[in-house]
């Protein structure tokens, strides 16, 4: 991001991400899929910690891998053979979640894989949203903890951090009051599909341009 290294980028993004997630989680925690949450805690978070600690020394280019995964999940409602293949893949959900943690720790791109997982399992929009939000919250907490323990100098000022958290709070309020209520289950799934496709295309374009 604008020439910043990976650690500095995380220091900039994590406060706003955590603020938004905590506000969202306050109103939807009762809808979280507990089985997915347990697997995130036991399998994903340790993988994030290890990969993030390693990535403070070297950050691998993973955009193209995440792009392919996200685009594949986004097309499951359109292509039957992809839907059947994903059903087989999700039988190995724990392995997927470990990989998601490694990817997120190394590149901060695991959130797209979590959204893709929720989409792939066809969760109700409230359960899907709550589970993704809970995952994002835990991701940010473990990332901040690892960055603190790694002893890297904090490159973002406190004033900037506070400003980002206020921005996160305003973003949450606007989304919660004006955007999410307009989406029924079908519109939410269609919107999620478009989000995944857009994310995949952006990541793929970035990977091909590097």
Residue 1 located in a structural domain? no
Per-residue CA distances from 18 to 44, 106, 130, 199 (Å): 17, 18, 14, 20
Length of the chain: 210
Instruction: Give the lowest-confidence range in 96-105, 134-143, 182-191.
Output: 182-191
Q: Does pLDDT of 111 surpass 80?
A: yes
Q: Does pLDDT of 153 surpass 90?
A: no
Residue 11: per-residue pLDDT: 83
Q: Tell me the whole-structure pTM to 2 decimals.
A: 0.79
Q: Does pLDDT of 30 surpass 90?
A: yes
For residues 91-115, give the mean pLDDT: 91
| DSSP for residue 180 | G
Residue 192 located in a structural domain? yes
In total, how many domains does the chain have? 1
Residue 39: per-residue pLDDT: 97
Angle at 197 between CA 54 and CA 181, to 5 degrees: 100
| DSSP for residue 175 | I
* Token pair listed for 118: 């929720």
Q: Does pLDDT of 146 surpass 80?
A: yes
Which has more confidence, 113 or 158?
113
pLDDT band at 1 (very low <50, low <70, confident <90, very high): very low
Residue 13 located in a structural domain? yes
**Domain range enclosing 37:** 6-209
Residue 185: per-residue pLDDT: 66
Per-residue CA distances from 128 to 27, 105, 142, 151, 184 (Å): 14, 22, 21, 35, 13
- The C-alpha atoms of residue 116 and residue 134 are separated, in whole angstroms, by 15
Q: Which of 36, 204, 65 lies closest to 136 in space, CA to CA?
A: 36
| DSSP for residue 156 | S
Phi-psi region at 202: left, alpha or beta (left = phi > 0; alpha = psi -120 to 50): alpha
- The C-alpha atoms of residue 188 and residue 183 are separated, in whole angstroms, by 5
Spatial contact of 45 and 138, defined as CB atoms under 8 Å apart? yes
Residue 128: per-residue pLDDT: 93
Q: Does pLDDT of 6 surpass 80?
A: no
Q: CB 192: neighbour CB atoms within 10 A?
A: 21
Residue 96 located in a structural domain? yes
pLDDT band at 152 (very low <50, low <70, confident <90, very high): low
Residue 134 located in a structural domain? yes
């Amino acid at each position: 991001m604008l020439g910043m290294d990976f650690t500095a980028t995380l220091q900039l993004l994590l406060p706003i991400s955590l603020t938004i997630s905590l506000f969202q989680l306050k109103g939807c925690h009762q809808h979280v899929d507990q089985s997915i949450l347990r697997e995130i805690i036991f399998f994903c978070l340790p993988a994030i910690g290890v990969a993030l600690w390693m990535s403070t020394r070297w950050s691998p280019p993973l955009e193209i891998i995440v792009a392919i995964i996200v685009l594949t999940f986004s097309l499951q409602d359109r292509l039957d053979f992809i839907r059947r293949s994903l059903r087989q893949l999700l039988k190995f959900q724990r392995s997927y979640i470990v990989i998601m943690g490694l990817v997120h720790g190394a590149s901060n791109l695991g959130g797209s894989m979590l959204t893709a997982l929720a989409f792939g399992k066809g969760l109700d929009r409230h359960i899907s949203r709550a589970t993704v939000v809970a995952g994002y919250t835990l991701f940010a907490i473990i990332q901040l903890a690892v960055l603190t323990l790694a002893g890297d100098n904090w490159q973002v000022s406190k004033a900037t951090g506070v400003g980002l958290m206020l921005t996160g709070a305003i973003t949450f309020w606007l989304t919660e009051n004006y955007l999410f209520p307009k989406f029924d289950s079908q519109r939410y799934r269609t919107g999620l599909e478009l989000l995944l496709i857009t994310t995949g295309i952006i990541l793929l374009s970035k990977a091909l341009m590097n």
